[in-house]
């Protein structure tokens, strides 16, 4: 009995120590409220795993492997993306694996494969009463979450601590990681069951029709060029580092000097599709149906900015520098209202396209300069052949994605970075910023030449993960603003000149575009929230629009 009890005490002690140590290096908060349900759940699962395996001197360690592995995954996701892992995100693992370097993929396969092999070889495969009871209890919990989510939510809110709606991490600290993950899944399922009520919301549909009529009635329809840039971090926002040379290319600085703005992204370190959803849909990415809204798009038309402009006579086109199956982008772009979507021919054999990755030796991803120049050439030719048709030109880049590789023969690392801590990833991002701003300056000058009366928006999807949130905190990014991990650069170039906006959110971009196209009349009749300075994420009042957009996208 002493031996049996000691392994449970040892596991609980290990989890407390492990989570405390991880919190010190930037991981999730440590386990504290052990009197709640997290530790009882973990110990109950540990008891069940001990029953399923053969007794041996290594049994206590072998049966702890799945539990420790799950907790390690929580921390890995948090360190990279700054958020709690959700159940629905499990199906996004192929996308994550697709962008990891080969060595990381091999390491994950070896480690996870070895752990699973050891555990499976230790199982005794005996169908006795405790085995059946344990399976029924676990299955019952899962089915309650998936089939009776409102019942689970009611019980959770009665027994557990209050859920912090604006922070999964705070909720996980108060209620445990696994229970908070289950709560998020139940909330998602509950919303899905209620979706039918939002497909034909009359008030929302009228607003969409009014927007279409407003744009369609304009005598002069100007063009819009919206560029979303992967992990486009402005190094000058770090107060705790210095550079041997300015990381901003002189040509870019000449165009946008002191005119850069800040936009709050919904994500940190990854989840580009969330940022894309916000800049196209005009509502916050609330994650009510999936870890990423794009994942639930079926190609059915819904009410996003491209659809509005398309109905008003615009040619809407999306150019993406990566694979068409990444984050379900083909269905997402079609559902959002793009008439055409283009991908590099290397990734999209058989699809109509004007794009090619060019030379990606030692960098893996298509360089922004290649993407933007090919787009500029295509737009220039298209305008010559279609002078009377306005265009919404949407571009999604991939250069700058983890692991921030650079071909130093083509783009030498000549900017040195000095700071309180050493982050090798950061030095690459700083040098990439220099070359990327050079390419962007060339693109903006090109647009000014061929399309002077237009709007160009350059916006970062999210900050790069680097070595995790600690890098940003220790190097005083954005002067320690409470929302600093979501503060990204956005640049506006209206009718041939740079324009500054106060801090806004990614989901404000559609309203800014509509207001520009209507010469300001849009915001004369609408409550344009981007005109009210703000630094905190405010998502109130978007629920109905969000639900209607997703309800139609998921048809």
**Per-residue pLDDT tens for 499-522?**
999 999 999 999 999 999 999 889
Q: Mean per-residue pLDDT for 167-178? A: 81
Nearest partner of 159 among 37, 33, 30, 32, judged by Cα: 37
Please check the confidence at residue 35 and state whether its pLDDT lies above 60. Answer: no
Contact call for residues 553 and 302 (beta carbons, < 8 A): yes
DSSP state of 258: T
- The pLDDT of residue 391 is 97
Q: How far apart are CA 351 and CA 370, in angstroms?
A: 19
CA angle 313, 317, 318 (to 5 degrees): 150
- The pLDDT of residue 74 is 87
- The pLDDT of residue 93 is 65
Q: Is 56 helix (H, G, I), strand (E, B) or coil?
A: coil
pLDDT bracket for residue 288 (50, 70, 90):
confident
Radius of gyration for the chain, computed over Cα atoms and rounded to the nearest angstrom: 25
**Per-residue pLDDT tens for 356-391?**
999 999 988 999 999 999 999 999 999 999 999 999
* Exposed/middle/buried for residue 332 (C-beta within 10 Å: 0-12, 13-18, 19+): buried
* Exposed/middle/buried for residue 327 (C-beta within 10 Å: 0-12, 13-18, 19+): buried
Q: Which residues of 306-381 form beta strands (DSSP E)?
A: 315-320, 340-342
Q: Mean per-residue pLDDT for 91-118? A: 72
Give the helix/strand (H/E) hosting 443: helix 424-450
Q: How far apart are CA 365 and CA 383, in angstroms?
A: 28
**Per-residue pLDDT tens for 232-286?**
999 999 998 999 999 999 999 999 998 999 999 999 988 899 999 999 999 999 8
- The pLDDT of residue 535 is 45
53-67, 216-230, 488-502 — which is least confidently predicted? 53-67
Q: Going from the N-terminus, what domains does the chain have, and what CATH number goes with each?
A: 2-195 (no CATH), 200-553 (3.40.720.10)
- The pLDDT of residue 170 is 78
């Amino acid at each position: 009995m002493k031996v049996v009890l000691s392994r449970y005490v040892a596991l609980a002690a290990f989890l407390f120590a492990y989570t405390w140590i991880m919190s010190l290096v930037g991981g999730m908060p440590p386990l504290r409220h052990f009197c709640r349900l997290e530790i009882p759940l973990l110990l109950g699962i540990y008891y069940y795993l001990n029953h399923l395996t053969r007794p041996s001197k290594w049994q206590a360690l072998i049966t702890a492997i799945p539990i420790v592995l799950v907790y390690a995954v929580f921390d890995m996701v948090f360190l990279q993306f700054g958020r709690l892992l959700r159940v629905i995100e499990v199906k996004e693992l192929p996308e994550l694996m697709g962008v990891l370097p080969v060595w990381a993929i091999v390491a994950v396969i070896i480690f996870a494969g070895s752990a699973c092999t050891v555990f499976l070889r230790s199982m005794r495969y005996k169908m006795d009463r405790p085995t059946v009871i344990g399976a029924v209890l676990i299955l019952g919990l899962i089915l309650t979450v998936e089939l009776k989510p409102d019942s689970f939510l009611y019980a959770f809110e009665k027994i557990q601590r209050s859920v912090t709606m604006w922070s999964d991490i705070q909720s996980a600290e108060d209620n445990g990681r696994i229970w908070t993950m289950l709560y998020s899944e139940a909330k998602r399922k509950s919303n899905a069951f209620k979706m039918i009520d939002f497909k034909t919301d009359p008030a929302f549909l009228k607003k969409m029709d009014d927007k279409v009529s407003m744009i369609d009635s304009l005598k002069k329809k100007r063009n819009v060029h919206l560029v979303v840039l992967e992990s486009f971090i402005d190094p000058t926002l770090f107060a705790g580092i210095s550079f041997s040379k300015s990381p901003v290319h002189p040509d870019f600085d000449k165009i946008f000097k002191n005119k850069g703005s800040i936009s709050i992204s919904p994500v940190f370190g990854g989840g580009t599709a969330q940022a894309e959803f916000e800049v196209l849909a005009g509502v916050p990415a609330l994650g009510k149906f999936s870890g990423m809204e794009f994942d639930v798009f079926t190609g059915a038309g819904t009410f996003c900015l491209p659809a509005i402009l398309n109905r008003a006579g615009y040619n809407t086109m999306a150019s993406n520098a990566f694979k068409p199956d990444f984050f379900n982008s083909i269905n997402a772009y079609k559902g959002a209202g793009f008439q055409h979507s283009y991908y590099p021919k290397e990734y999209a054999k058989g699809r109509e396209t004007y794009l090619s990755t060019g030379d990606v030796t030692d960098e893996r991803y298509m360089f922004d300069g290649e993407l933007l120049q090919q787009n500029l050439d295509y737009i220039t030719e298209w305008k010559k052949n279609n002078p009377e048709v306005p265009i919404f030109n949407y571009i999604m880049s991939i250069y700058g994605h983890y692991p921030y590789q650079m071909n130093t023969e083509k783009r030498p690392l000549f900017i040195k970075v000095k700071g309180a801590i050493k982050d090798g990833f950061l030095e690459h991002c700083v040098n990439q910023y220099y070359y990327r701003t050079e390419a962007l300056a060339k693109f903006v000058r090109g647009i000014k030449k061929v399309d002077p009366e237009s709007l160009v928006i350059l916006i970062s999807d999210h900050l790069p993960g680097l070595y995790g949130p600690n890098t940003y905190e220790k190097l005083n990014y954005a002067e320690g603003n409470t929302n600093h991990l979501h503060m990204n650069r956005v640049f506006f170039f209206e009718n041939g000149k740079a324009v500054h906006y106060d801090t806004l959110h990614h989901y404000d971009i559609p309203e800014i575009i509509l207001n520009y196209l209507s010469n300001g009349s849009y915001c004369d009749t609408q409550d344009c929230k981007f005109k009210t300075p703000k630094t905190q994420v405010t998502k109130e009042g978007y629920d109905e629009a969000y639900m209607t957009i997703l309800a139609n996208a998921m048809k």
